[in-house]
Chains A and B, each alone.
Chain A
């Protein structure tokens, strides 16, 4: 009952419709529309400042959109639908919505005053989703999944960057989210630690959860992505399969970007 390792009935269908977001006069997102099928792996690439991370943050309502809508399985992020009216959600309900969306940060953001186990069981206990025993059992299984079963009692500071990120992934999984968002999960890591984190993410792709990954690792994108999105200056320039976007890009900006990073 704790972790279903087999492929789950797919849910976690993300629809982004005409989303706009401004930061102090600068257009971070301009008319973004995106359909991410349940259980798929979508990789977003693009130069710094292209709005990739902002888009990811709006899906978790860490960032409020100025216009447009984001839905996960027909539930509006940040709103409650009643008839043909959308009521803006209060903080408390937004927090509830976030339970179904896991988020992995570039800088891990583990809680330094809590050990690995406490980091992972914090959210399930806060939401009274599991009893303490169940939460601990589940935390151990998740740590097994990310290959850190022996680090249950360790403190974040004692772990390498790669290990910390793997704990952060386990933490994000503890609430059984339908969707997991990865915000440049390997950008803060030393080169030799990147591989272990990417391997964990690759394994997760088999769990059938919807994953959206912002990354600069093009080789990794090629390996895991069902769908690749290229963004530049707050817009989606091109999207499609690995073949379409990475192998045979149509747009000049995509070609330029790929020639620079490959």
Chain B
């Protein structure tokens, strides 16, 4: 019997059309309200957006974000390894570090660091508990605004990063550790060749989240009177009192930056996708 006389009717998805209509409506309402409302002050926005001071602030923010990410990844990896150590003491030390810097508000950490010279007038590089000192710095000189901000962001961020990396490592099947150990692979080789490449799949998305959070978090360093983006905008606002334009400038610029930053995440090929085919 021939089956060719059957006609195939594709499935219909009426809810999708409703969803499309709804989305268009939302976009239209938001756009209309933003562009028709004079209070947003778009002319002020246009005037200041490419102002050198703003761009300088943006550059500072980007610089701070970049170095914070680099150093917090390094420190975070070390803390994560400590947290997974077989030594009880090392594990506890890392646990306390993570617990403390996840609990303390970044603002508080920055203020303490900013006033570090009241606590310790000098920073000595030498052998602890002896008089041997290789180098000595005056705290107030060593910790300028940028390094204070950087140190503060790095020590707080690495506590979060450490937990992300630890989670990634623990997500790797225990059999992989055993197989590597049974083949006599050294700790370093086991970690770099077997465990980290497998954990990176779960680490990367969370780390990207952390980086986006961090770049927004940099705005808090304005308390150090450092001319990064938020502080600069604040200064301009103090002069022209255009509060809305201020906030919007800030958010517009930020979202642009995040969009740029978020791109690699969304378009990035899946790590290790090669063994999926």
Contacts and interface: CB of A to CB of B under 8 A. Distances in A.
A149 to B, nearest CB: 20
B186 interface: yes
Given A122-B193, A126-B189, A157-B276, A175 B183 contact: yes
Given A92-B186, A126-B189, A112 B181 contact: no
B179 A109 contact: yes
B121 interface: no
A184 B158 CA distance: 43
Contacts of A122: 183, 185, 193-194
Interface string A113-139: 101000000110011000000000000
A172 B182 CA distance: 9
A95 interface: yes
A88 to B, nearest CB: 14
B197 A113 contact: yes
Interface stretch (A8-16, A23-31, A98-106): A98-106
B31 to A, nearest CB: 45
Interface string B176-194: 1011111111110100011
A70 B246 CA distance: 74
A96 B182 contact: no
Contacts of A156: 275
B275 A123 contact: no
Contacts of B179: 103, 105, 109-111
B176 A109 contact: yes
B77 interface: no
Interface range on chain A: under 10, 10 to 19, 20 to 34, or 35 or more? 20 to 34
Contacts of A102: 182
B274 to A, nearest CB: 8
A98 B187 contact: no
A107 interface: yes
Contacts of A192: none
A91 interface: yes
Contact of A98 (B173, B181, B198, B277): B181
B269 interface: no
Contacts of B277: 155
Nearest to A91: B187
A107 B175 CA distance: 8
A126 B186 contact: yes
B184 A109 contact: no
Contacts of A97: 184
Nearest to A118: B193
Nearest to A97: B184
Contact of A62 (B182, B186, B197, B274): B182
B133 to A, nearest CB: 35
A209 interface: no
B272 interface: yes
A101 B180 CA distance: 13
A60 interface: yes
Contacts of A227: none
B184 A175 contact: yes
A52 interface: no
Contacts of B275: 112-113, 115, 155-157
Contacts of A105: 175, 178-179, 182
Given A95-B185, A97-B184, A98-B182, 17 more contacts: A62-B178, A62-B181, A92-B186, A96-B184, A105-B179, A107-B175, A109-B179, A110-B179, A111-B176, A111-B179, A112-B272, A112-B275, A113-B197, A122-B183, A123-B184, A123-B185, A126-B183
